[in-house]
Amino acid sequence: LDSPRPGDAIAAFYQAIAPELAGLDHPLYPHGDPRAAYLLARLAPMAQHAPRLAAILAVCATASELLDARPNADLALAAMELAFGWPEGAGSSLFALARAAGWIAHAAEQAGSGAMIRPRARYVGRAYREEA
C-alpha cells in the first residue's frame, strides 16, 4: 500500500485468481459472510494502533471494492494470522476447530429432534448399478 496507486497492484494480483480463492464471496452467504463481517468489525478499531493490521485491512477493503465481492471468513482469519504473527496455518486450524464445534452442535440437535435437519440433498433411495 506504499505505492501511489495501490489499487492497481491489488487489481493486477486478483486478475490472476478467482475471487473465491482470494477469500471473497461465499456460496452460502450471497449477501455477505456474517462471520467475516463480525471478525473484521472487531479488528477495525485495533487498526488505529497497529499499522500492519491497518494495511492488511486496507488491502482487504480495496480487493472487495475492486471485485465487487464481500470478504469471507477465510479472508478474515488470514488477515488475523498475518496481522498478529500467528504461526502459519493457525487461521485454518481455528476455522477447522470452529467447524468441528458446529458439526457437533448440529449432530446433537439432530439426535435430540429424532429427525434429519437442514439437509442439502434429498435421498431418493439406494442407487443401483449394473454389473458388467
> What residue spans define the domains of the chain?
6-88
Helices (H), 25-127: 34-43, 51-67, 73-83, 90-113
Which of these CATH numbers, 2.60.120, 1.10.3470, 2.40.128, 1.10.230, describes 6-88? Answer: 1.10.230
pLDDT tens sequence across 25-43: 888 898 999 999 999 999 9
The distance from CA 126 to its chain's CA centroid, rounded to whole angstroms, is 35
pLDDT of residue 19: 59
Separation CA 75–CA 102 (nearest Å): 19
Separation CA 17–CA 7 (nearest Å): 16
Identify whether the C-beta of residue 95 lies closer than 8 Å to the C-beta of residue 40.
no
pLDDT tens sequence across 101-127: 988 998 899 899 988 787 666 667 776
